[in-house]
């Protein structure tokens, strides 16, 4: 078993030295609630999940234990699961189509809640990835800000699997997109979610406000 507390501590001290304002999300996909609890006991409160079925089971159990966790959905959400997602998540960081935004907004309305969302950006135009293309983000944002039961609070991306130069360029492009949106019509945009186990230091240097770490905390997934 990985030493979860030790890993968390190490990452936090790196955050501290690079930019103390950066938040840490623990990505607990493929790990069960007892593993989540270990991180929780070490003070971790923000968790990310990428599959609905698995996430819901964990969230239910965590609720029974009265754990005070902020759960983020960070994986692609199918339209037919939007209703459930609206029930279980207050944060959906993988908003990747206008159709999904519209559906979620309707479900959030009928459940009388506000859901915080991030737009996922396919920053390096990878055909295998989800998310809005960079050139479509402005347009998408214009319609999403009109959906009253969604609160757009950030942008998210997965860095390319490439060399450092390309990764850095992708993160830099995200940062400038983020700043452009803030200047134009999203002054409240707060989060730039980028950086995972292999590239979080670069992401922080390029302006990430929240990093999403799985393997670096919990060890390799099986």
In sequence order, what DSSP letters do the residues of 46-84 get, joined into one string?
EEEE--HHHHHHHHHHHHHTT---EEEE-S---GGGHHH
143-182: contacts with ligand PLP (CB under 6 A) = 158
Distance from C-alpha of 213 to C-alpha of 171, rounded to nearest angstrom:
16
Cβ proximity to ligand PLP, 10 vs 183, nearer residue: 10
Q: CA distances (Å), 172 to each of 11, 24, 63, in order?
A: 22, 20, 38
Question: Least distance (Å) from ligand PLP to the CB of residue 38?
Answer: 16
Site string for ligand PLP, 31-50 (x = CB under 6 A): -------------------x
Distance from C-alpha of 202 to C-alpha of 8, rounded to nearest angstrom:
18
Q: Binding of ligand PLP at residue 216 (CB under 6 A)?
A: yes
Cβ proximity to ligand PLP, 141 vs 208, nearer residue: 208
Q: Binding of ligand PLP at residue 108 (CB under 6 A)?
A: no
Structure tokens at 2: 């990985």
Question: Least distance (Å) from ligand PLP to the CB of residue 114?
Answer: 23
φ, ψ of residue 150 in degrees (nearest 5): -115, 140
Which positions touch ligand PLP (CB under 6 A)? Answer: 27, 29, 50, 74-75, 158, 196-197, 212-216
């Amino acid at each position: 078993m990985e030493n979860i507390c030790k890993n968390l501590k190490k990452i936090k001290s790196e955050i501290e030295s690079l930019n103390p304002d950066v938040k840490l999300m623990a990505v607990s996909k493929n790990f069960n609630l007892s593993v989540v609890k270990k991180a929780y006991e070490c003070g971790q409160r923000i968790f990310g999940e990428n599959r609905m079925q698995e996430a819901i089971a964990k969230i239910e159990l965590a609720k029974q234990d009265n754990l005070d966790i902020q759960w983020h959905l960070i994986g692609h959400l199918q339209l037919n699961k939007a209703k459930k997602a609206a029930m279980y998540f207050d944060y959906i960081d993988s908003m990747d189509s206008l159709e999904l935004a519209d559906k979620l907004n309707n479900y959030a309305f009928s459940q009388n809640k506000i859901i915080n969302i991030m737009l996922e950006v396919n920053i390096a135009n990878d055909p295998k990835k989800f998310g809005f293309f960079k050139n479509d983000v402005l347009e998408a944002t214009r319609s999403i800000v009109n959906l009253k039961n969604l609160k757009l609070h950030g942008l998210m991306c997965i860095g390319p699997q490439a060399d450092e130069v390309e990764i850095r360029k992708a993160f830099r492009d995200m940062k400038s997109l983020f700043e452009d949106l803030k200047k134009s019509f999203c002054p409240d945009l707060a989060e730039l979610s980028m950086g995972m186990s292999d590239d979080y230091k670069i992401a922080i240097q390029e302006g990430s406000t929240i990093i999403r770490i799985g393997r670096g905390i919990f060890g390799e997934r099986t």
